[in-house]
C-alpha cells in the first residue's frame, strides 16, 4: 500500500499513525511500498544448497535486525574501538579481510545480493564453495566477533545509524550505471552523501574505489559539491595506487584482468 497522507488506524485496540515518506527525490525514487527503489539483482539464478544452509544456519547469528542497537560496546561479539561500514560488499573478500586485519574495530557489511552474503559466510566459516557441507561447521569467532551483516539495501538502515557513529565507510566498485539516463541510479549521489556525512564522524573517511572513468569523474564532482568533505589526495600516487590498508575485491581483480586501472578516492569528513 502506498501511503500518500497521514493516516491513523486501529490495530488490536491501539491507534497507529503512519506518515508518508518525504517526497521522493530524483536520486531516491520509491517503490509501491514507499521503499527506495533498488535496480540491481537480489538473487542469482542458483543459490547452491550449501550456501542456502549457510544463510539459514549462520546469517541469523551475525545479522543486523530490527532489535540491533548501534552501540560499540554491545553490537559485536566484543566491545570495539571504532566501527566501519562497507556498502555493497559483493562476495565479501574486502570486508572479511579488513575484519581479520583489524580485530580492534567492528565492521558492518551491507549487501543486497543473497549469493554475495552467502559467499561472505563461506569466508568466515572457512568453508569452500561446493554443494556439500562438512558434517560439523561453525563460525570462526576470530573471523566473526567483529562483523555484522545487513542483508538488504543500506538505505533502509541509514536512519537507524546514529550521527557520527562511523569511522570509515567503504563504497568499492559500485555499479557504474554508465548511461546518462541511468545516472540517478549511481550510489554516490546527493541523497546518499547527506546520510553518509551524517553517520560519519568528523575526521572519518569515505573511500570510493572505481575502475570506471565516468564514475570517477562523477564521484569527484558529487563530493566537490558537498562542503562537508575534503579529498585527501595530495598527488597522483595517492589515488592511483592501493591504500596501505587495502584488501583486493572481486570486481577489482576482474578490472585488472580486463586491463582497467582502478582509482582509490579517500575523502575526509571535515
Ligand atoms: C559492482 S558490485 C561490487 C562488489 C564489491 N564491492 C567488489 O568490489 O567486488 C556492487 C555491489 O553493491 C551492491 N549494492 C548496490 N546498491 C546497494 C545498496 N543500496 N545496499 C547494499 N548493497 C548494494 C550490489 O548488490 C552489488 O553486489
Query: What's the whole-number mean pLDDT along residues 9-27?
Result: 64
Answer yes or no: is the C-beta of 195 below 6 A from any ligand 1 atom: no
Of the listed ranges 121-125, 195-199, 202-206, the least confidently predicted one is: 121-125
Residue 1 has pLDDT above 70, yes or no: no
pLDDT at position 132: 59
Nearest CA to ligand 1 atom 18: 153
Among the listed residues 155, 168, 235, the one whose alpha carbon sits nearest the alpha carbon of residue 195: 155
Output the CA 90–ligand 1 centroid distance in Å: 5
State which of 86, 107, 157, 174 you would mutate to test the pocket of ligand 1, scoring each by most atoms of that ligand within 8 A of its C-beta: 174
More confident residue, 222 or 42: 222
For the chain, which domains are there?
1-26 (no CATH), 27-269 (3.40.50.150)
**Half-sphere exposure of residue 198: CA atoms within 13 angstroms, side-chain side:** 12
Residue 44: name the closest of 110, 92, 131, 115 by CA: 115
169 Cβ closer than 6 Å to some ligand 1 atom: no
Per-residue pLDDT tens digits for 227-265: 999 999 999 889 999 999 999 999 999 999 999 999 999
For residues 157-163, average pLDDT? 97
Q: Which of 91, 151, 163, 175 is catalytic?
A: 175
pLDDT at 249: 96
Q: What is the predicted pLDDT for the residue at 3?
A: 45
When the pLDDT of each residue in the chain is averaged and rounded to a whole number, the result is 89
Higher pLDDT, 12 or 42: 42
Task: Looking at the CA of residue 116, tell me the nearest atom of ligand 1.
Answer: 27
pLDDT at 19: 58
Going by alpha carbons, the residue nearest to atom 4 of ligand 1 is 90
Is 92 touching ligand 1 by the criterion CB < 6 Å? Answer: no
Distance 236 CA to ligand 1 centre (A): 26
Asked whether residue 12 carries a pLDDT value surpassing 90, the answer given is no
What mean pLDDT is predicted for residues 93-99? 95
DSSP 165-227: -EEEEEEES-----SGGGGGG-SSSHHHHHHHHHHEEEEEEEEEEES-HHHHHHHHHHHHT-T
**CB of 96 closer than 6 angstroms to any ligand 1 atom:** no
State the cell numbers at 137.
561447521
pLDDT of residue 204: 98
What does the pLDDT read at residue 2? 42
Mean pLDDT (whole number) for 88-99: 96
Instruction: Flag whether pLDDT at 101 surpasses 80.
Output: yes
**112 Cα–ligand 1 center, Å:** 7
Closest C-alpha to ligand 1, atom 15:
88
Lowest mean pLDDT among 103-117, 134-148, 198-212: 134-148
Beta-bridge partners for 231: 267
Given a cut of 80, is residue 61 above it in pLDDT?
yes
Atom in ligand 1 nearest the alpha carbon of residue 86: 6
- Reported as a pLDDT band with limits 50, 70 and 90, residue 203 is very high
Q: Is 175 a catalytic residue?
A: yes
Specify the pLDDT at position 178.
94
- Above pLDDT 70, what percent of the chain? 83
Per-residue pLDDT for 33 more than 50?
yes
Q: Is the CB of 154 under 6 A from ligand 1?
A: yes
Is 172 touching ligand 1 by the criterion CB < 6 Å?
yes
The pair phi, psi for residue 142, each rounded to 5°, is -70, -15
Q: Quote the ligand 1 centre to 155 CA distance (angstroms).
A: 12
Ligand 1 centroid–CA 2 distance in Å is 27
Select from 149, 187, 153 the least CA-distant residue to 171: 187
Amino acid at each position: 500500500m502506498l501511503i500518500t497522507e497521514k493516516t491513523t488506524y486501529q490495530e488490536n485496540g491501539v491507534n497507529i499513525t503512519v506518515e508518508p515518506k518525504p517526497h521522493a527525490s530524483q536520486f531516491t525514487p520509491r517503490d509501491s511500498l514507499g521503499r527506495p527503489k533498488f535496480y540491481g539483482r537480489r538473487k542469482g539464478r542458483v543459490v547452491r544448497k550449501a550456501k542456502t544452509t549457510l544463510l539459514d544456519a549462520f546469517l541469523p547469528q551475525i545479522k543486523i535486525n530490527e532489535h540491533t542497537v548501534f552501540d560499540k560496546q554491545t553490537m559485536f561479539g566484543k566491545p570495539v574501538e571504532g566501527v566501519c561500514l562497507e556498502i555493497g560488499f559483493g562476495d565479501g573478500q574486502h570486508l572479511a579481510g579488513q575484519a581479520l586485519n583489524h580485530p580492534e574495530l567492528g565492521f558492518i557489511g551491507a549487501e543486497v545480493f543473497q549469493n554475495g552474503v552467502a559467499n561472505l559466510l563461506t569466508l568466515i566459516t572457512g568453508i569452500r564453495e561446493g554443494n556439500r557441507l562438512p558434517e560439523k561447521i561453525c563460525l570462526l569467532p576470530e573471523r566473526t566477533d567483529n562483523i555484522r551483516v545487513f542483508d538488504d539495501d543500506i538505505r533502509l538502515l541509514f536512519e537507524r545509524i546514529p550521527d557520527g557513529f562511523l569511522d570509515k565507510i567503504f563504497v568499492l566498485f559500485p555499479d557504474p550505471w554508465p548511461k546518462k539516463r541511468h545516472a540517478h541510479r549511481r550510489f554516490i549521489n546527493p541523497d546518499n552523501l547527506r546520510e553518509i556525512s551524517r553517520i560519519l564522524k568528523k575526521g572519518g573517511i569515505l573511500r570510493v574505489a572505481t575502475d570506471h572513468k565516468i564514475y570517477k569523474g562523477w564521484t569527484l564532482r558529487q563530493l566537490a559539491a558537498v562542503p562537508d568533505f575534503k579529498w585527501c589526495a595530495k598527488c597522483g600516487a595517492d589515488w592511483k595506487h592501493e591504500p596501505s590498508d587495502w584488501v583486493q575485491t572481486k570486481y577489482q581483480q576482474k578490472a585488472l584482468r580486463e586491463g582497467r586501472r582502478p582509482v582509490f578516492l579517500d575523502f575526509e569528513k571535515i
